[in-house]
Amino acid sequence: MDMTFTPEQIAFRDEVRSWIREAMPPEMRRRAENGANFEQSETMEWHKILYEKGWAAPHWPKEVGGTGWDTTERFLFQEECVDSNAPQLSPFGLSMVGPLLIQFGTDEQKQRFLPKILSGEEIWCQGYSEPNAGSDLASLQTKAEKDGDDYIVNGQKTWTTYAQYADWIFVLVRTSSEGKKQEGISFLLADVKNTPGITVKPFLTTGGTLAFSETWFSDARVPQANRVGPEDGGWTMAKALLAHERTGIGGVAESGRSLQLAKRIAAETPVGKGRLLDDASFRRRIARLQMRHRAVAMLNLRTLAAAQVGHAPGFESSVLKIVGTEVQQETTELCMDAMGHNALGWLDSPADALPEYQNAVASQFNYLRAATIYGGSNEIQKNIIAKQMLRLPA
């Protein structure tokens, strides 16, 4: 593979970099330069800025609000967003249910939901995992029973990321108990804010954030018109959505930024008469991670290139998910090690106890302990690779 960029692609990257720098409000830019975490309000402010520019959904078809960029341009745009530490937009609408509706939704569903996903007017979350159905998602028990033109939904979802901010949830439900457990699942869209019987309760993570919620459905009415695809055919859509999610979970650009952050911290951490960055053993750790990161970045480019010519992600997305999340964990661990004892006080220390760019390191380290579990655990991904790539029997 030719890993070099053309002059036109380099000019495009420079244009994106310059625009991000100029479009970001001054206080947001200051916080971005210092590696700060962003609040939900700041993320939505950046969403609106991208939407007005026409860059909120670069991977959508142009006719529904996308940019018309090719794979390389989308890759460069994502890299520049991460390198600038711009707020990361929620993936649940733009990168998950939006593309799914484009592929499987009815004309009415596309007209109803896509414009508001694109503009950020409606925020989405994902209702997949349950207390006893995580990586074995097909074991889910949340039920949906027909009643007139509606489904009556009962059950519980967990790990619903930032559900407390969501207006809508896409949810997998069991509509039949016949046949294989994968065959009785349907894909529904539910109005979180305006449907009686849906309750969202955030809970605190070890990183000190309210990133996850538990979501209950108690006789919640969801119109049958909000089912995407055929009844009992939701497993097909769940797999399609998860393949794209796992590609994104790999976090290649994010790991690259964490590597740069580890170097910055090490350069400012005194050790004896020198700096931690001058320590040979620490530099070897950086070098090993850089080589591994480079390898997964090349695989990511190959997967994106295949998508450009119409190939949906297959087992490659599982490979990216495994290696990418491991690299994410290793890079944040490297940052923590570079901080030394300063890494221990992220919950009860005053904000000015550390340089601002280090304040979010420990929280991110804790959050990413789950990266090898969410989106389908890495053990499950190895099973997928064995079945699809090595052709082993199920």
Residues labelled as active-site residues: 245
3-state secondary structure of 133: strand
SS (H, E, C) 258-312: HHHHHHHHHHCCEECCEEHHHCHHHHHHHHHHHHHHHHHHHHHHHHHHHHHCCCC
Residue with tokens 């993570």: 205
Structure-token pair, residue 15: 């244009």
3-state secondary structure of 168: strand
Q: Are 53 and 119 in contact (CB under 8 A)?
A: no
What letters, b where the CB count within 10 A reaches 16 and e where it falls short, cover 303-329? bbeebeeeeebebbbbbbbbbbbbbbb
Task: Provide the CA 344 distance to its chain's centre, in angstroms.
Answer: 27
- Among 42, 41, 9, 3, CA closest to 25: 42
3-state secondary structure of 136: coil
Q: What is the spatial distance between Cα 76 and Cα 67, in angstroms, rounded to a whole number?
A: 13
CA angle 48, 127, 111 (to 5 degrees): 50
Q: What is the spatial distance between Cα 339 and Cα 45, in angstroms, rounded to a whole number?
A: 32
Q: What is the spatial distance between Cα 62 and Cα 64, in angstroms, rounded to a whole number?
A: 5
Structure-token pair, residue 182: 């994968």
Q: What is the spatial distance between Cα 237 and Cα 100, in angstroms, rounded to a whole number?
A: 7
- Among 316, 314, 333, CA closest to 371: 333
Calculate helix-pair angle for 107-119, 40-53, nearest 10 degrees.
Answer: 110
Residue with tokens 């450009």: 308
In one-letter notation, the amino acid at residue 145 is E
